[in-house]
Amino acid sequence: MTIESTEFGSITIDGKTYEHDVIIRLSGQIEKRKKKLSKELYGTSHIISKEEAKFIYEDGCDALIVGTGQEGNVRLSPEARDYFDKKRCRVEMQPTPEAIGTFNHSRRKKIGLMHVTC
């Protein structure tokens, strides 16, 4: 699987364009991000909550690559960071255009969360 490109509001993976944030599972399955898990708590989807972190994480994952948006606005809450630390899951956060390259070249057992706007 290859993430081909992103622009404000979309991401293209293996020739298919998604016009929403996505989670790329260990299996390569692509899911729509459940932003409401964070938005209900913080009033924004730019802070990833512990509840959303629990939804994102899968056993066997040793890396989470977060595309933080075109301008890099997404961040982890302290509780989400602690959760991933306890799971021994390394979190790499970069603006989405940069995170695409990191995801595509990583050899780790990884999950991707790609924010496609701000």
Average pLDDT over residues 40-64: 97
The pLDDT of residue 51 is 97
Mean pLDDT of all residues in the chain?
97
* pLDDT interval class at 47 (50, 70, 90): very high
Q: Which residue has the higher pLDDT, 58 or 1?
A: 58
CA atoms of 58 and 70, how far apart (whole Å): 26
The pLDDT of residue 14 is 97
* pLDDT interval class at 1 (50, 70, 90): confident
Indicate if the pLDDT at residue 76 is higher than 90: yes
Backbone region of residue 81 per phi and psi (left: phi > 0; alpha: psi in -120 to 50; beta: other values)? alpha
Collapsing DSSP states into helix, strand and coil, what is residue 53? helix
- Whether this prediction's pTM lies above 0.85 is answered by yes
CA atoms of 95 and 100, how far apart (whole Å): 9
Average pLDDT over residues 7-13: 98
Q: Are 113 and 66 in contact (CB under 8 A)?
A: yes
* pLDDT interval class at 9 (50, 70, 90): very high
The pLDDT of residue 112 is 98
Q: Map out the domains of the chain as residue ranges.
A: 3-114
CATH of domain 3-114: 3.40.1230.10
